[in-house]
Amino acid sequence: MIHLDFQVRLDTSAYRRYNLAMKSDEIRRSYLEFFEKKGHARIEPAPLVLESDPTTLFTSAGMQPLIPYLKGEPHPKGKRLVDSQPSLRLQDIDEVGDNRHTTFFEMLGNWSLGDYFKKDQLEWCLEFFTGQLGLSKDRLWISVFEGTKEVPKDEESFNRWKELGIPESRIFFYGVDNNWWSRSGAPESMPEGEIGGPDSEVFFDFGIAHDPKYGKDCHPNCQCGRFLEIGNSVFIQYQKNGDGSLTELPQKNVDFGGGLERITAAVGGKADIFTTDLFEPTIRKVEEESKDAYGKNSEKDRSFRIIADHLRAASAVMSEGIEPSNKLQGYVVRRLVRRAVFHLSALGVKALSLSISKISKALWPKVSGAMAQESERFEKALARGTSTLARRLETSGEIDGKFAFDLYQSEGFPLELTLEILKEKGKGFSEDEKKTFEKEFENHKEKSRTASAGMFKGGLADSSREVTKFHTATHLLHAALRKVLGEHVSQKGSNITAERLRFDFSHPDKLTDQEIKKVEDMVNEQIKKDLPVSFETKTLREATGEGALHFFGERYGKDVKVYTVGDPNGEWFSKEVCGGPHVAKTGEIGSVRILRQEKVGSDVVRIYASAG
């Protein structure tokens, strides 16, 4: 037995010989070591909250921190990289509850920055799944890109898979909805400067009987539960132009992403990621608190899964110092915790905040206090909502869709609970009232999507000319404010769009007219000098030793990019840790003008500025 344990640690093939299911830690380790042997350098995962890109809420993909290098900048560790990147995507939040979707996940990734391409990538992808993990090639199905007017059909990947022994009957062509990847979706929805390309996905076949409600024929992108996507090789070779067309990048890149949760489920042979060791501890604790069992009832299973995913996601974000609040990342944490609490109540748990406290203390002790406090606040909100509903029923006897939505928006009171209370009173919603609620809810979601799109548009993925100018102008403003007002000034946030920049900084009072003029004159003087803008990759310690500004150092990775305005080895005006993009010389900015300012906190001032 001792010999077997030793073999399991050193040789993943032991799992196949002894028919043991690999745990997630072993799969992660095996993946990283496999690609290191293929000449890849292991890189540190980026934080979930990227302070170098304050215009996007979370790291949502492994490629996000690598965008400059995918566009052609040399990476300090070379052209072949591998890592395991924690990520969070909110667009799937309404899908959580089935056997495969999550908000938080860990993405195994390998990259080729203009080095190898489709031939080697697809071979190594198959070798890892079958040779390292022991998955049967007969249970792997493939999808490839069918092409558009601008981008050709991916015959190369199709033929390569056939060469590797995948029969044509298990290779499917799909369009942009399934086999095109960029952070913002299909080519038409990509902002200027965003990169993407066609992809080829690998699916694992669990052999489950096809459910006819999902259509007549079963195929890899059928949602019946038979197939599970376990890997996606994205061939990033295009960039969006301002006129809406696509241009080929100067280098052809590979961006592979494989969800650790899904791969672990495939290796275990169970078509439910929530049965893996990544979720099992949470599921077990919820079973203890609810006195119920997972896997016995489909509706209850949905609540188990939402609780397990949302608490895991919330704890990951909170571990980076984000507290539940009503703004930005804090709002997301609040929403995740509150949805988990609601679904705990759906399982019949009465002492909600106490149960959350027990679960979080056992699994995430460092954030359990804040998680329990938020649970307690929501428990009180549920009590207020229940009381409000009771009063409404006493006075009017009816609840309409508008009232139900207002209750949801003000107290976070879920529609499911409103319907449950109405059912207990022998009442219910008509179809028209449900439609009213759904219309209000969709309007609410559309506003959220619009806000998110605006936030994404200004992120580092947007390298349009105007946005690039504003990124460098922000550095100039930051340096000038510190010279005019004092070194207590530090960045508290920023938001950049193609129309303007917004910059928050620490200062007790709004600027006087004279101070505004001094800052503008100082910034425009540097622009007239047409100073060079350059960057170097350094460790955070090296960067700070040189005087680079870095007000969020605890969330940066080991290596950072330091942008200098002026001579890096001589006289410079600004030196700051940032992810870019930036102009080559300050003269490209034109000029900067501060449009307006406002106080947004007791010691925080916000300014809006234009450039051109």
Residue 19 lies in a domain: no
Whether 10 maps to a domain, the answer reads no
CA distance 235 to 252: 7
Burial class (CB in 10 A: 0-12, 13-18, 19+), 153: middle
Residues 118, 260: one domain?
A: yes
Mean pLDDT confidence for 378-389: 87
Amino acid at 607: I
CATH number at residue 544: 3.30.980.10
Domain that holds residue 414: 399-463
In a domain, 158, yes or no: yes
d(CA 550, CA 48): 17
**Is the same domain home to 383 and 440?**
no
Segment 51-73 shows an average pLDDT of 77
Find where tokens 């548009």 sit.
457
Indicate the helix (H) or strand (E) that contains 376.
helix 368-395
Distance in angstroms between the alpha carbons of the first and the last residue of the chain: 72
- Residue 307: per-residue pLDDT: 96
* In the predicted structure, residue 535 carries a pLDDT above the cut 60: yes
pTM (2 decimals)? 0.74
Percent of the chain with pLDDT over 70: 90
CA distance 49 to 87: 10
11 in a structural domain: no
Q: Where would I find the beta strands (DSSP E) of 114-163? A: 140-145
581 prior amide bond cis, ω within 30: yes
DSSP code for 532? B
478 within 8 A of 578, measured Cβ to Cβ: no
Ranges 18-32, 262-276, 534-548, 564-578, most confident: 262-276
Cβ burial of 361 (10 Å; 0-12, 13-18, 19+) is middle
Count CA atoms closer than 13 A to 525's CA, side-chain side: 9
Strands 195-205 and 41-42: unpaired
> CB–CB of 96/70 below 8 Å?
no
Give yes or no: residues 132 and 43 share one domain.
yes
Per-residue model confidence (pLDDT) at position 454? 46
User: Domain check: are 382 and 420 in the same one?
Assistant: no
The chain-wide mean pLDDT, for the chain, equals 85
Residue 3 located in a structural domain? no
Residue 494 to residue 424: CA distance in whole angstroms: 49
Same domain, 360 and 221: no
Could you say which of 359, 375, 395 is where a domain stops?
395
Report if residue 493 sits inside a domain.
Answer: yes
Q: What pLDDT is attached to residue 568?
A: 85
For residues 38 and 535, give the distance between their C-alpha atoms in angstroms, rounded to a whole number: 29
Alpha carbons 425 and 445: distance in angstroms, whole number: 30
The answer to whether residue 78 scores a pLDDT higher than 50 is: yes
pLDDT tens, position by position, 418-465: 887 787 777 777 777 778 877 877 776 665 555 444 444 444 445 567
What CATH number should be reported for the domain holding residue 168?
A: 3.30.930.10
Whether the pLDDT of residue 334 is over 80: the answer is yes
How confident is residue 14, by pLDDT bands cut at 50, 70 and 90? very low
CB-based contact 43:63 (threshold 8 Å): no
Q: What is the pLDDT of residue 10?
A: 31
User: Among the three residues 356, 376, 395, which one is the final residue of a domain in this structure?
Assistant: 395
3-state secondary structure of 527: helix
For residues 420 and 510, membership in a common domain is answered with: no
| Selected residue with higher pLDDT from 213 and 343 | 343
Q: 444 and 506: one domain?
A: no
* Single residue among 349, 375, 395 that ends a domain in this structure: 395
pLDDT tens profile 476-500? 999 999 999 998 888 877 777 777 8
The pLDDT score that the predictor gives to residue 155 is 97
Residue 40's Cα: distance from chain center in Å?
A: 24
Asked if residue 429 lies in contact with residue 415, where contact means CB atoms within 8 angstroms, the answer is no
User: Total structural domains in the chain?
Assistant: 4
Tell me: do 437 and 577 sit in the same domain: no
Residue 53 has pLDDT above 60, yes or no: no
The two tokens of residue 362 are 């056992």
Q: Give me the half-sphere count of Cα atoms (radius 13 Å) on the Cβ side of residue 498.
A: 12
pLDDT at 457: 45
> Could you tell me the two tokens for 308?
């397990």
d(C-alpha 198, C-alpha 221), whole Å: 16
Greatest C-alpha distance within the chain: 79
DSSP string covering 483-523: HHH-TT--EEEEEE-SS-EEEEEE-SSPPPHHHHHHHHHHH
Q: Is residue 5 part of a domain?
A: no
Q: How many CB atoms lie within 10 A of CB 338?
A: 22
Please report the pLDDT score of residue 344 as a whole number: 94
453 in the same domain as 371:
no
- The per-residue pLDDT for range 165-204, each reduced to its tens digit, is 999 999 999 999 999 998 778 888 888 888 999 999 999 9
Question: Of the given ranges (204-218, 529-543, 554-568), which has the lowest mean pLDDT?
Answer: 554-568
Clarify whether residues 116 and 259 are in a common domain: yes
The reply to whether 100 and 244 lie within a common domain is yes
Kindly state whether residues 110 and 158 are assigned to the same domain: yes
Of 436-440, 471-475, 499-503, minimum mean pLDDT range: 436-440
User: Residue 594 — very low, low, confident or very high, per pLDDT cuts 50/70/90?
Assistant: very high
pLDDT at 444: 65
**Pure H helices in 180-319:** 260-268, 280-290, 298-318
> Stretch 126-145: mean pLDDT, rounded?
96
Q: How far is CA 343 from the centre of its chain?
A: 23
Q: Where does the pLDDT of residue 383 fall: very low under 50, low under 70, confident under 90, or very high at 90 and above?
A: confident
pLDDT for 52 equals 53
* Residue 581 to residue 72: CA distance in whole angstroms: 12
Report if residue 14 sits inside a domain: no
Dist CA 18 CA 286 (whole Å): 32
